[in-house]
Amino acid sequence: MTCLRLVLGDQLNARHTWFRAVDGNVVYVLMEVRSETDYVRHHAQKVLGIFAAMRRFGDALAKAGHRVEYLRIGDARNRHSFAANLSWLIERCGATRLERMEADEWRVEQALNQAFTASGLPHAVVSAEHFLLERADAAKRMAKKVPRMEFFYRELRRRDGILLEPDGSPRGGQWNYDAENREKWPGEPPAPAWPWQRHDLRALWQEIVDAGVQTLGDPSAKAFGWPLSRREAQAWLRDFVAHRLPHFGRFQDAISEASPTLFHAGLSFALNLKMLHPREVIDAALEAFERGEVALAATEGFVRQILGWREFVRAIYWARMPGYATLNALGAERPLPRWYWDADTKMACLRTAIGQSLALGYAHHIQRLMVTGNFALLAGCDPDEVDAWYLGIYVDAFEWVELPNTRGMSQFADGGVLGSKPYSGSAAYVNRQSDHCKGCHYRHTLRHGERACPLNSLYWHFHVRHRERFGRNPRLAMAYRSWERMDTDERAATLAQAETYLADLDAL
Ligand code: FAD
Ligand code: DLZ
C-alpha cells in the first residue's frame, strides 16, 4: 500500500503530525505548477520565496528519511496542475491512497476535492494544524452574523487564557490599548533594520524565467531577503521581539519615507507559509512582556493582530466564500491607475508605498489600508482589479487573508460585513501620520486648484456620492457635518476638482 500525501507551497509546517514518524509507505508530494504561478501575476519575490522554501522543505523531509516526489517548475514531466500531476504520480508510485491537508484557498480546495474524488482512491483531508481555530469552527462562528473583530478577539483571549488577570478580566483592566497606538514617528527611536537574509537565488530565478512565468516587481535574486526555513523564520521572530516589539504599538499606524518597515514584524510571509505557528509567535511576545521587556500596550497591540485580525479574516473568508469574492457594494468600476504597476505618480505617499511594494513585495498595514487602499476606495476602482493587485504584489498574499482585507476592510465592497465604516482618509490623515506631504508635488492643505492634493477632493466626492449609504452612520457624522458647514462655492469647486482628477487618474 502506498499513500501520496500532498504538501502545498503554503503548507510548510515542519511540526505537523504527518512528519513525526518515517513511513516507507508514504510519499510526500510537492510541486511547482503553472496553475499556481499564473492564476494572478505574482511579485517575483513571492514566486522565488515560495519555490525556494518548498525546495528546502522537500530536501529536509528527504534528509529526515521520508520518501519525497518533488516536481520543479522546469521539469519536463511536470503537467503544471495539481490534478494532472497527481494522476501520473498515482501511476508512477502505484498509489492506493491519497491524503492532503485542508487548503487555505477556496479555489485550490475545490480543485483538490475534485482531483481526489476523480482518482477513485480512498482519500482523507486533515487539518493543516496551523490556525488557532479549526476551519469549520471558524466558519461556524460567522455563520449567522459576523461579530465585530473586538468581540471575536476577546472570546479567543478568554478561551486561551491570554493576557488575563486571575479573575478572567483583561490584564491591566482594558481589552484594547489601541488609543495608545496612534503616534506619528518622529525619527526616534531609530527603526531597526529587518534581519534580511542574503540568499543567492539567481539559478532558481533563471529556471522561473526559462519556464515562462510572468511576474512583477524586483526579483532581487542575488540577495533575496525573506526567511526560507523554519530556523530562519524563528531568527526573524527573535529579532522582532528583541528590537521592534517594544515600539510596535506606539508606531503601528505611522508611515515614513525614512523606513519602509518601521517597527513591524515582517513575519507574515513565514506565518502564511506555516514556517511559524501563530501560537509560538504570540507566546514569544507574551514571554517578553512577562520578563518586563515589553509594555502591556505594545504586547496587546501585537497579540490582537495575530489572535484577532488574522484569525478573524480567515473565519470570514471561509464563512462567506465563494460569494464574498464577487461583492461590490459600492458599485466601483474604474480601472486602477497605471501607476499602481510602476509607482510613477506625483503623489509622494502613493509613490513611496507602491515603489517599496515593487522593490520588496512588502508594505506595512497602514500603507496598504490608508495609502494604496484608500486611494482606490476614494477613486471608486473596481474591486476585482484591486484584489488582483493586492493578491499579486505582496509576498504574503494568499486569498484567505488578502480578500477580506482588501474587498472588505479596505474597499467596503462587502457592504459592512467586516467593518462598520469605510477606512477613508483625506490628505489631513496622511499628513498627520507620515512625513510624505512636506516634499510632495501636491499641497495637502488645498482642496482645489492646480496643486491640490487629490486625496482631498476625492475624499469629499466619495462621501457625497455615497451619502445615502453612509449619511446616517454615526461614525461618519462629523465628516458630513464638516461638509455641510463648507460654503456652497467651496463645495462646488471641490467636487469639480474631483471630477477633473477622476477623468484622468493616470495623470496624477
Ligand atoms: P505586522 O504589522 O508586524 O503585524 C504582525 C502580524 O499580524 C502580521 O504578520 C500578520 O500575520 C498579522 N496581521 C496584522 N494585521 C492583519 C490583518 N489585517 N489581517 C490578517 N493578519 C494580520 N496580510 C497578509 O498576511 N496577506 C495579505 O495578502 C494581506 N493583504 C492585505 C491587504 C490589505 C488591503 C490590507 C489593508 C491588509 C492586508 N494584510 C495582509 C494585513 C497586513 O497588512 C499584513 O499582514 C501585514 O502588513 C504584514 O506585515 P508584518 O508581518 O510586518 O505585520
Ligand atoms: C502562491 C503559490 C505559487 C506561486 N506557486 C505554487 C506552486 O507552484 N505550488 C504550490 O504548491 N503552491 C504554490 N503557491 C501557493 C498555492 O497557491 C497555495 O497553496 C494556495 O494558495 C492554497 O492556499
**Domain end residue (candidates: 79, 107, 126):** 126
Whether the Cβ atoms of residue 278 and residue 271 lie closer than 8 Å to each other: yes
Same domain, 56 and 184: no
Same domain, 154 and 120: no
Task: Please state the atom number of ligand 2 nearest to the C-alpha of residue 108.
Answer: 22
- Answer whether residue 228 is part of any domain: no
Give the closest residue to 301 by CA, choosing from 260, 250, 362, 236: 250
Which ligand number lies closest to the CA of residue 265?
A: 1
Q: Considering only CA atoms, which residue is closest to atom 43 of ligand 1?
A: 365
- On the CB side of 291, how many CA atoms lie within 13 Å of its CA? 11
**Helix (H), strand (E), coil (C) string for 121-155:** CCEEEECCCCCCCCHHHHHHHCCCCCCCHHHHHHH
Which ligand number lies closest to the CA of residue 32?
A: 2
Q: How far apart are CA 474 and CA 151, in angstroms?
A: 20
Same domain, 146 and 105: no
pLDDT, residue 441, reads 98
Same domain, 74 and 102: yes
Q: How far is the CA of 77 from the centre of ligand 2 (A)?
A: 19
Residue 105 is classified by DSSP as: S
Residue 424 is classified by DSSP as: -
Q: 506: exposed, middle or buried (C-beta count within 10 Å: 0-12, 13-18, 19+)?
A: exposed
262: left (phi over 0), alpha (psi -120 to 50) or beta: left
Q: Are strands 3-6 and 26-31 parallel, antiparallel or unpaired?
A: parallel
3-state secondary structure of 399: helix
**What total number of domains does the chain contain?**
3
Q: How far is the CA of 149 from the centre of ligand 1 (A)?
A: 15
- Answer whether residue 272 is part of any domain: yes
- Answer whether residue 201 is part of any domain: no
Q: How far is the CA of 268 from the centre of ligand 1 (A)?
A: 6
Task: Please state the atom number of ligand 1 nearest to the C-alpha of residue 240.
Answer: 3
Give the closest residue to 10 by CA, choosing from 241, 314, 213: 314
Same domain, 384 and 406: yes
Same domain, 147 and 116: no
- Answer whether residue 66 is part of any domain: yes
Per-residue pLDDT of the chain in tens (508 residues, 90 and over written 9): 999 999 999 999 999 999 999 999 999 999 999 999 999 999 999 999 999 999 999 999 999 999 999 999 999 999 999 999 999 999 999 999 999 999 999 999 999 999 999 999 999 999 999 999 999 999 888 888 888 999 999 999 999 999 999 999 999 999 999 887 788 999 999 999 999 999 999 999 999 999 999 999 999 999 999 999 999 999 999 999 999 999 998 999 999 999 999 999 999 999 999 999 999 999 999 999 999 999 999 999 999 999 999 999 999 999 999 999 999 999 999 999 999 999 999 999 999 999 999 999 999 999 999 999 999 999 999 999 999 999 999 999 999 999 999 999 999 999 999 999 999 999 999 999 999 999 999 999 999 999 999 999 999 999 999 999 999 999 999 999 999 999 999 999 999 999 999 999 999 9
pLDDT, residue 146, reads 84
CATH code of 305's domain: 1.25.40.80
Q: What are phi and psi of 322, to 5 degrees?
A: -90, -10
Give the closest residue to 464 by CA, choosing from 338, 372, 380: 380
Interface pTM, i.e. ipTM: 0.99
pLDDT, residue 44, reads 98
CATH code of 367's domain: 1.10.579.10
**Domain end residue (candidates: 287, 320, 353):** 320
Choose the residue to mutate in 4, 5, 6, 10 for probing ligand 2, maximizing ligand atoms within 8 Å of C-beta. 10
Q: Considering only CA atoms, which residue is closest to atom 52 of ligand 1?
A: 266
CATH code of 68's domain: 3.40.50.620
Cell of 323: 460569494
Q: How far is the CA of 96 from the centre of ligand 1 (A)?
A: 40
Same domain, 143 and 78: no
Q: How far is the CA of 95 from the centre of ligand 2 (A)?
A: 23
Cα dihedral angle (288, 290, 295, 299), rounded to 10 degrees?
60
Same domain, 407 and 312: no
Burial 381-395 (b: 16+ CB within 10 A, else e): bbbbbbbbbbbbbbb
pLDDT, residue 182, reads 80
Whether the Cβ atoms of residue 377 and residue 336 lie closer than 8 Å to each other: no
Same domain, 399 and 482: yes
Same domain, 447 and 491: yes
Q: Considering only CA atoms, which residue is closest to atom 7 of ligand 2?
A: 32
Cell of 170: 483583561
Same domain, 364 and 346: yes
Q: What is the residue whose three cell numbers read 480512498? A: 122
- Answer whether residue 223 is part of any domain: no
Cα 187 to chain centroid, rounded: 26
Task: Please state the atom number of ligand 2 nearest to the C-alpha of residue 33.
Answer: 8
Q: Considering only CA atoms, which residue is closest to atom 22 of ligand 1?
A: 310
DSSP secondary structure string for all residues of 228-279: -SHHHHHHHHHHHHHHTHHHHTTTTT--BTTBSSTT----HHHHHTTSS-HH
Which ligand number lies closest to the CA of residue 46?
A: 2
Q: How far is the CA of 197 from the centre of ligand 2 (A)?
A: 22
Q: Which residues line ligand 1 (CB under 6 A)?
A: 264-268, 271-272, 305-306, 309-310, 313, 364-365, 368-369, 373, 390, 394, 396-397, 401-402, 405-406, 409-410
Whether the Cβ atoms of residue 377 and residue 383 lie closer than 8 Å to each other: no
Q: What is the residue whose three cell numbers read 526559462? A: 210
Task: Please state the atom number of ligand 2 nearest to the C-alpha of residue 42.
Answer: 4
Q: How far is the CA of 28 from the centre of ligand 1 (A)?
A: 30
- Answer whether residue 217 is part of any domain: no
Cell of 223: 540577495
Q: How far is the CA of 254 from the centre of ligand 2 (A)?
A: 32
Cα 398 to chain centroid, rounded: 7
Choose the residue to mutate in 365, 374, 389 for probing ligand 1, maximizing ligand atoms within 8 Å of C-beta. 365
Residues in CB range of 7: below 8 A, 6 or more apart: 28, 29, 30, 57, 101
Task: Please state the atom number of ligand 1 nearest to the C-alpha of residue 373.
Answer: 34
- Residue 322, preceding peptide bond in cis (omega within 30° of 0): yes
Q: Considering only CA atoms, which residue is closest to atom 23 of ligand 2?
A: 104
Same domain, 183 and 295: yes
Q: How far is the CA of 296 from the centre of ligand 1 (A)?
A: 21
**Domain end residue (candidates: 74, 98, 126):** 126
Q: How far is the CA of 418 from the centre of ligand 1 (A)?
A: 15
Q: How far apart are CA 380 and CA 386, in angstroms?
A: 10
pLDDT, residue 493, reads 98
Q: How far apart are CA 4 and CA 27, in angstroms?
A: 5
State the residue range of the domain holding 376. 338-507
Q: How far is the CA of 365 from the centre of ligand 1 (A)?
A: 6
3-state secondary structure of 42: coil
Task: Please state the atom number of ligand 2 nearest to the C-alpha of residue 30.
Answer: 11
- Answer whether residue 105 is part of any domain: yes
Q: How far apart are CA 299 and CA 139, in angstroms?
A: 27
